[in-house]
Chain A
């Protein structure tokens, strides 16, 4: 965004050498051009169940084939594996018409847009050791480690290239109106130089003015540079990373090494709780589970082992990735990639290489600066030509040009806008929206699409129990009153059926609370264990309390841990509670596995035969939960017969004899990563504000769809094509896709789409969910929306979101859970991770846009009243009514505080009820605004100023007719006796004093008119009597403006410093009728706009 073109080239050429370097390591990391889809097709047949889990329906292939609803639009090609698209990306080849440098840069970007290809996980371990010159026992030698560090680089992510400070500073000195102002200053110096050359004792006015103009540019440049620097400092607070250490084996001994010093080939030991320090191939795993949610968006932990299970690096079990975290177990592995070459490094690289587009407000400001500059240049050149043609000297003409430029440029406006944005940014920060750069404040107000990540953004990224099924009924665990849970039974603690399920749930679990957490509410206590078990444990603790003690009473005597073949976990407890001591078997696992193991079921407190009807009920419940995208776990128990298992029986865990029994089924528990509490409301507000909320997630389509329904991204009544087909009982192909408004698009479908198809989907469906998307595809989706001309916001917290965050018009990351990469790529950070804060952001953004419009209107209005004196000076040849310094006093003095105070205005109507602005039509500065500000209000102010001018001239002896054509004599220094209408003769200095008095009076009359202008700027539509004067900052500004004007006029010495002269009190009055006129005139305009919508007046003068 900020990097200039030459920089970009340098940055990318550095990167391209990296590609070359990789090319030199044969077979190490290939950029295989062939789409990995081929490999996934091959792997599909040999691929065992790709992920261990408790066999939720979405994992069970058998189940999936009968149940898995196909998403509409394009039926999923049968040969594509469910999970592979994560690694697939498509980069449409574009015609290459660029220069070599650019083409190179493009190709690096294109490579990054593709997926990582590597074979380090596929080759045999021996081959890997040879390649990396390491061995599993002794690790690398220190020398080799150093060698590898220099060869493959340090284990660091290259920070995004920063624009040098002086370039930032220079940009601030040359941006906006600065160029025009420099021209003005230059002309002043030139005029002074010419004058000085011809006459040694020439007045230093132009030197003085030139210095003032130059300082104005310098100061406002410094100011915006300071603002920029201030907001970038906010980000530095996020950068303080705690240095982390990794356990490494080098030269045969284990040592703790700073993560950054990790080298390729290092043997690393991993323990639960660690952040994975690099991309690592596992050689040993003891129940190691990693949380890949930062990369994939899936919140459940996945098990990792030493076997290569998949060609696809992301799917194979023997790779763990940088920045993910180990949740459970321990392991050992070889570092295969470090730093920028890790999977996360590539994504981060992609993100930092993308140029994010200009913010809408920056576009608007540019547009505005262009308009005003064009006007200034137009008038400047026009009057230069006119004055030369009228016979003025070149010097005079150049001096007129200075005046016109100074009058035309709203010197203080850009700083005012910055202050307004900064105020809003501050207000938003207090509402937990931290804005990284000021312009992003407004961007949220213009978004029409929010692409939201699911995990951690819409949801809590925390498993939680959702439902329990027992006694043949579905029970809601949380919020039984929620409409979503309508028709479900309530849990009654103490029911024997519930207690049976709860007993198994409490006992058959390895999760436990961390010790030493006394007095902390259950919900906040930290748990050690996997997400599912932790969720159950916590819920049981809140429902029943004191799980630890219960477990202590029912000691575990034997345990069969979970494995992916059995898909269950069982434990035996000595149950001493009732009817003597006996052993209780508690077992949980994939529901279909559990039900197979059962012959009875607990219904109404009785153990019944598990008949077909019960099985059907079970299946229905299981399917229902599965369709909700929830993870379902089955539970059963069995009281081991005391005859065969007497007290003190020693169990054999290797080949447990009790597995030959059949058990009693007690129920199902389903878990889901639930939506955050405020999200449904926030989504509703966004939608009523005309913003389309789209879910883009790496997670499973069913889960995605379920959450989308829960949070309202999919409206309650709306069905997807296949759901419609299911209800109508017809095949999907028979239905017209245009009937439905909802689509859940699978990442694998995206692969086959070209831009046009994606665009068609984006246009045709109102409610969209993209599931199983890779980081590259998220980017594609964002680009798709941007192609439609919409302003896109992306929310996300994971590394996988960062390219999309960067590409989006505004990227929003999460302050608590967000990864550093995503925070780096984002423009805004939600400190409380609350999606609902976005609504605040949208509201503030829209408000600030409205208020900026008012602010611009207010400031632009007096431009014309500053300009007319010059026109009359040149054309009517009257003495100058308004001096250049006075103009600066208005633009940089009295106008500033009132303009800023408009930022505190409250919205006029419910801004969250209207559609987002159309970036092509609803500009900050419109034709109507210019016409009304310049043509009408500005002209009224001009008349007020000119009237005041003539009044003062008349009172001092120069009647208006005398003034016409008087300019050249008036300004002639040698004329020491210029006659007025009453025959008095004025010296040059006396005339100038009169002129300066007029200038001060003109200044005052602008101030007086600006009172009225400020009040009318408060509202664009409603009457001021309805709107009220409750903006106290604005009321203060009115007083401040007046006080400042008094200080400028009446302070002794101002006649020398600013050429301001003290005024008689009644010289404030001539402008008053015009101020009243402005007020009344605008009230009438607004009345017409309200009464006659669509009328000519609205069309022409509603800005």
Chain B
């Protein structure tokens, strides 16, 4: 045992004896404690101090993050995404878009186009959407970089130039006809998703863009579920055209009922101007005023009062169909009452 001078005599002879918590700390006191002037456990100055600290802290932190983002953004390009095609997450397999489309705010997740034929307002929702879309195409803001392309004149989209979409070729699918909605023959706008720098690899053309009949048959055979009508259209077209390579420079589009029932109820389908998008619209390089090419499909005699599942697909060698991932295809439903 030590003497007084030894360090262990410095023992803590007064261990803390915390008093029992006094039962007066109620919730009310926590919110406003009149004795200590504390609001939510802090006095006014204490709140002010901590508030100022956090304001300064977050301002500093935000500035730091901003600086980091600024430094990073120096590596970005303004004219194109940093990563394109296979490097980008978007990949090389475009999706298919359609119009009109139900409003996602009111009707999230729904792809049903439903209207009552007698009800003008119902139909107007849909054909106005299409009208707005075609109006924007008809009156482009930028014209310098746009050119009129065709198979015949051989003009194609380049890095700075892109092609007009001719809105006059859609037959009955026009604004004046209310896109067929009033008459129960609704038109749907079908387009291919833009992917920066993506070019189609059409059926039947070899690497040099020349027509190869064997290749065409091989390509067509390789496609599963290619509608017979489309196959016939292509094979017939090859025969009737002088330059099949131009005719074949197309991304083919088909719209069918999804199931056997749907196929029956959907009835005949009309494609305006034809079941495909010409290849000269591609690639997309964020050309000024670029117009996405599209076609119209018109359902001539869809059964009324039945929900019809419709699937539209785009066909090319480098469009891989994936029903679950909705690649190379799009799905929507139609119901006319």
Q: A716-B3, A957-B81, A982-B80 are in contact. Are A1070 and B193 (CB under 8 A)?
A: no
Min distance, Cβ A245 to any Cβ of chain B, angstroms: 48
Min distance, Cβ A977 to any Cβ of chain B, angstroms: 3
Q: Is the CB of B89 within 8 A of A956?
A: yes
State whether the Cβ of B332 lies closer than 8 Å to any Cβ in chain A.
yes
Complex contacts, A1070 vs chain B, CB 8 Å = 68, 72
Q: With A and B bound together, what is the CA distance between A981 and B14 in angstroms?
A: 70
Complex contacts, A975 vs chain B, CB 8 Å = 101, 104
Q: Is the CB of B193 within 8 A of A943?
A: no
Complex interface: stretch among A525-533, A794-802, A911-919: A911-919
Question: Number of B interface residues, CB 8 Å?
Answer: 72
Q: A687-B11, A990-B95 are in contact. Are A448 and B88 (CB under 8 A)?
A: no
Of A449, A955, A1096, most buried by chain B (CB within 10 Å of CB) is A955
Question: Which residues 4-51 of B have a CB within 8 angstroms of A?
Answer: 4, 7-21, 41, 49-50
A1100's nearest neighbour on chain B, judged by CB, is: B50
Q: Is the CB of A741 within 8 A of B325?
A: no
Using an 8 Å CB-CB cutoff, how does the interface string of A416-454 with B read, 1 for contact, 0 for none? Answer: 000000000000000000000000000000001100000
B41's nearest neighbour on chain A, judged by CB, is: A927
Complex contacts, A627 vs chain B, CB 8 Å = none
State whether the Cβ of A118 lies closer than 8 Å to any Cβ in chain B.
no
Using an 8 Å CB-CB cutoff, how does the interface string of B309-336 with A read, 1 for contact, 0 for none? Answer: 0000000000000101111001010000
Complex interface: stretch among B56-64, B169-177, B227-235, B299-307: B56-64
Of B15, B73, B290, most buried by chain A (CB within 10 Å of CB) is B15
> From DSSP, what is the main secondary structure of chain B's interface residues?
loop
Q: Is the CB of B325 within 8 A of A989?
A: yes
Q: Is the CB of A920 within 8 A of B95?
A: no
State whether the Cβ of A988 lies closer than 8 Å to any Cβ in chain B.
yes
- Looking at the complex, which one of A741, A927, A976 makes contact with B96 (CB distance below 8 Å)? A976
State whether the Cβ of A549 lies closer than 8 Å to any Cβ in chain B.
no
Question: Which residues 916-952 of A have a CB within 8 angstroms of B?
Answer: 916, 918-921, 927, 931, 935-936, 939-940, 943, 946-947, 950-951
Complex contacts, B292 vs chain A, CB 8 Å = 985
Q: What number of residue pairs across chains A and B have CB atoms under 8 A from each other?
A: 198
Q: Is the CB of A448 within 8 A of B15?
A: yes
Q: Is the CB of B109 within 8 A of A973?
A: yes
Q: With A and B bound together, what is the CA distance between A956 and B77 in angstroms?
A: 11
State whether the Cβ of A984 lies closer than 8 Å to any Cβ in chain B.
yes
Min distance, Cβ A400 to any Cβ of chain B, angstroms: 14
A920's nearest neighbour on chain B, judged by CB, is: B18
Question: Which residues 382-413 of A have a CB within 8 angstroms of B?
Answer: 393, 396
Min distance, Cβ A978 to any Cβ of chain B, angstroms: 9
Using an 8 Å CB-CB cutoff, how does the interface string of A676-713 with B read, 1 for contact, 0 for none? Answer: 00001000100111111000000000000000011010
Q: With A and B bound together, what is the CA distance between A918 and B73 in angstroms?
A: 52
Q: With A and B bound together, what is the CA distance between A973 and B102 in angstroms?
A: 11
B193's nearest neighbour on chain A, judged by CB, is: A985
- Looking at the complex, which one of B57, B82, B110 makes contact with A955 (CB distance below 8 Å)? B82
Complex contacts, B248 vs chain A, CB 8 Å = none
- Looking at the complex, which one of A396, A687, A972, A979 makes contact with B8 (CB distance below 8 Å)? A687
Min distance, Cβ A877 to any Cβ of chain B, angstroms: 11
Min distance, Cβ A987 to any Cβ of chain B, angstroms: 3
Q: Is the CB of A955 within 8 A of B18?
A: no
State whether the Cβ of B108 lies closer than 8 Å to any Cβ in chain A.
yes
State whether the Cβ of B160 lies closer than 8 Å to any Cβ in chain A.
no
Q: A680-B1, A687-B12, A943-B61 are in contact. Are A763 and B109 (CB under 8 A)?
A: no
Q: Is the CB of A918 within 8 A of B18?
A: yes
Q: A955-B81, A985-B195, A990-B89 are in contact. Are A974 and B332 (CB under 8 A)?
A: yes
Complex contacts, B90 vs chain A, CB 8 Å = 956-957, 984, 986, 990, 994
Complex contacts, A716 vs chain B, CB 8 Å = 1-4
Complex contacts, B62 vs chain A, CB 8 Å = 943
B333's nearest neighbour on chain A, judged by CB, is: A974
Complex contacts, B72 vs chain A, CB 8 Å = 947, 951, 954, 1070
State whether the Cβ of B98 lies closer than 8 Å to any Cβ in chain A.
yes
- Looking at the complex, which one of B19, B50, B73 makes contact with A789 (CB distance below 8 Å)? B19
Question: Which residues 85-132 of B have a CB within 8 angstroms of A?
Answer: 88-91, 94-98, 101-102, 104-105, 108-111
Complex contacts, A1061 vs chain B, CB 8 Å = 89
Q: With A and B bound together, what is the CA distance between A1096 and B194 in angstroms?
A: 58
State whether the Cβ of A457 lies closer than 8 Å to any Cβ in chain B.
no
Complex contacts, B4 vs chain A, CB 8 Å = 716-717
State whether the Cβ of A715 lies closer than 8 Å to any Cβ in chain B.
yes
Min distance, Cβ B33 to any Cβ of chain A, angstroms: 15
State whether the Cβ of A357 lies closer than 8 Å to any Cβ in chain B.
no
Of A920, A954, A982, A1100, most buried by chain B (CB within 10 Å of CB) is A982
State whether the Cβ of A968 lies closer than 8 Å to any Cβ in chain B.
yes
Listed by A's residue number, 10 A-B pairs whose Cβ atoms lie within 8 Å are A684-B11, A688-B11, A691-B15, A916-B15, A972-B104, A974-B332, A985-B292, A990-B327, A994-B89, A1100-B50
5 nearest CB pairs, A to B: A977-B97, A987-B95, A972-B104, A974-B111, A985-B193
Q: B residues near A, CB below 8 A?
A: 1-4, 7-21, 41, 49-50, 53-54, 57-58, 61-62, 64-65, 68-69, 72-73, 76, 80-83, 88-91, 94-98, 101-102, 104-105, 108-111, 191, 193-196, 284, 286, 290, 292, 322, 324-327, 330, 332
Beyond the given A199-B109, A716-B2, could you list 8 further A-B residue pairs with CB under 8 A, ordered by the A residue number? A684-B11, A689-B12, A956-B90, A973-B108, A982-B81, A983-B194, A987-B193, A1074-B68
Q: A residues near B, CB below 8 A?
A: 199, 393, 396, 448-449, 483-484, 680, 684, 687-692, 709-710, 712, 715-717, 741, 763, 766, 787-790, 915-916, 918-921, 927, 931, 935-936, 939-940, 943, 946-947, 950-951, 954-957, 960, 968-969, 971-977, 979-990, 993-994, 997, 1061, 1070, 1073-1074, 1077, 1096, 1100
